[in-house]
Structure 1
Amino acid sequence: MRLRAGDTEVTVLPEDGCRLSSLRVGDAELLVQGSGSGSFVMAPWCGRTADGVFRNGATSHRLPLNAGRHAIHGTVREQVWQRVDRADDDRSAAFVVDLAEPWPYPGRVTQIIELAEDGSALTMTLGVETAGDSFPAQAGWHPWFVRRLRSDGPEAAVEFSPTGQLVRADGIATTEIGDVRPGPWDDCFTMPDGVDVTLRWGAELELRVTGRDEWVVVYDEQPHAVCVEPQSGPPNGLNTHPRLVTGIEPLETTTTWSWRRPAGPAV
């Protein structure tokens, strides 16, 4: 399905994990095309869960390993979602999916996607609810932004000012926060005042990714893409920064992507 506003068009694939397969601003495609690309939802955890094991109180759970010896990026990106709002709205849509095996707790994930009226921004909200016992959870987005808007265009530059970078051990983020090191990165950064990262393609376009949570992963080790991943907790956070979803307190996180021509008004 497609959402449209101004000269912006977003393609959403509810049958493929509620993934954004395209974000076109004018004649520019901002997301990498192809299977597994675009922008997918991470829930009920983000990044790698070490050894596929997490605890909920005294109970230990084991998740399937799909990233070497670790479990990565949750389960809902591989499920079919359902649209639950009216279908005649061209600018917004709401989707739901029930948590299922191999996740050990019943619950539901909701995603609301909304384009600004003038087509200059996209806001997405994720919610995680329990249908029974409380459980730790995370939610976030994994967009694959194109390295170049045109084959001969400038490369995207990442501009942000994090307060720290999580130290990794054996490829897994620890709880230790160190100094920010030069890229390329596959790392989680802390931004206590909220995520605020800008991608700038020279004078062609700038894209600002914001969110109220403090955690963002930047992955720019691939030659064709730059990933800026706002999320409610850090990688391995089910173990290191557990956020309990309860019957009276669901998890909710929001990100807004906005864009403009650097030397002019909003696209």
Structure 2
Amino acid sequence: MAIEKKLTAGDAELILRPDQGCRVASLKVGGTELLRQGDKFGAFVMVPWCGRTENGVFRNGGVTHQLPIDAPPHAIHGTGRHAVWQEAAPATDTDAAYYYDLADPWPYPGRVTHKVELAPHSVKLTLSVEAAVDSFPAQAGWHPWWLRNLGQGGQDVELAFHAAWQEQRGDNHLPTGKRIDPLPGPWDDCFGMPDGVDVELTWPGEMRVRVESPTEWMVVYTEQPEAVCVEPQSGPPNGLNTLPRLVTPIDPLEITTTWTWHRIG
């Protein structure tokens, strides 16, 4: 299996790393890198759960499961980002699809597929989660690390979005269950957008990126100086417990996001 897969369309170049959780390792437009670089960065997938799962515990009916604690005291961002993914279909210059089969420490068999479709001014990402035998709750989403500054002498990125609510965050970094009016940043918070995620990132005079998804949930993280994260996901943090979406053999989970860009100035 190739260590990386490069897609190109127009002056856009995207690098996938199936050996590193099928993350988008790089997204360049006209040679300008938009994503923070490094093995843990780029844009990684979150599956079969997103964000933190409280104390690493979730229930499926009457059965309780314990996940590895990798963000004490919680389990964070799923197992897919640690997996080696396999090619699901022959790739082209602009399209690629990879899969991995769910396995220990996730307790239920199934398959996750990540499809990437690059165009000159956009990329569409699709994640699907299929159950092999037993039904189980699951989530899916993306965690892109957008560079705060493009490193070309310009200004830092500006975020613009209109959320219907913000999930109140407790001392344990999880939603309390109370919805509040959106507060100013910095954020490590979940927002609700019932009409779909729609966020603009603007590097003044340089670039504008629009992040869209039909899902109503996103997490925004702006607490690090190097990058900002806008994370479309199929449910809120700890959603395996608070808002479980059951994946069954006849009803897979699918989520998409589209990132569109253009130069400004």
Instruction: Please tell me the root mean square deviation across aligned C-alpha atoms, in Å.
Output: 0.8
Q: Which amino acid aligns with 1:171?
A: H
Q: Which of 9, 13, 23 in structure 2 is aligned with 1:9?
A: 13
**For residues 21 and 95 of structure 1, what CA distance do their matches in structure 2 show?**
15
Aligned match of 1:50: 54
What is the CA-CA distance between 1:35 and the residue it aligns to?
Answer: 1.5
Task: Show CA shifts across 1:39-92 (max 9, x none).
Answer: 1000000000001001111111110100010000000100000112113x1000
| Residues 1:30 and 2:34 are matched in the alignment | yes
Aligned match of 1:80: 84
What is the CA-CA distance between 1:151 and the residue it aligns to?
Answer: 5.0
Identity over aligned pairs, percent: 58
- SS of aligned partner of 1:46: coil
Equivalences for 1:1-267 in 2 at 5 Å? 1-87=5-91, 89-116=92-119, 119-150=120-151, 152-169=153-170, 170-262=172-264
**For residues 27 and 98 of structure 1, what CA distance do their matches in structure 2 show?**
35
- SS of aligned partner of 2:223: coil
Q: Which amino acid aligns with 2:100?
A: V
- SS of aligned partner of 2:39: coil
Equivalent pairs counted in the alignment come to 260
What is the CA-CA distance between 1:174 and the residue it aligns to?
Answer: 2.6
- SS of aligned partner of 1:222: coil
- SS of aligned partner of 1:84: strand
**For residues 208 and 191 of structure 1, what CA distance do their matches in structure 2 show?**
15
5+ residue gaps in structure 2? none
TM-score, normalised to structure 1, is: 0.96
5+ residue gaps in structure 1? none
What is the CA-CA distance between 1:194 and the residue it aligns to?
Answer: 0.2
**For residues 230 and 106 of structure 2, what CA distance do their matches in structure 1 show?**
25
Moved over 3 A (4+): none
Q: Which amino acid aligns with 2:50?
A: C
TM-score, normalised to structure 2, is: 0.97
Q: Which amino acid aligns with 2:241?
A: N
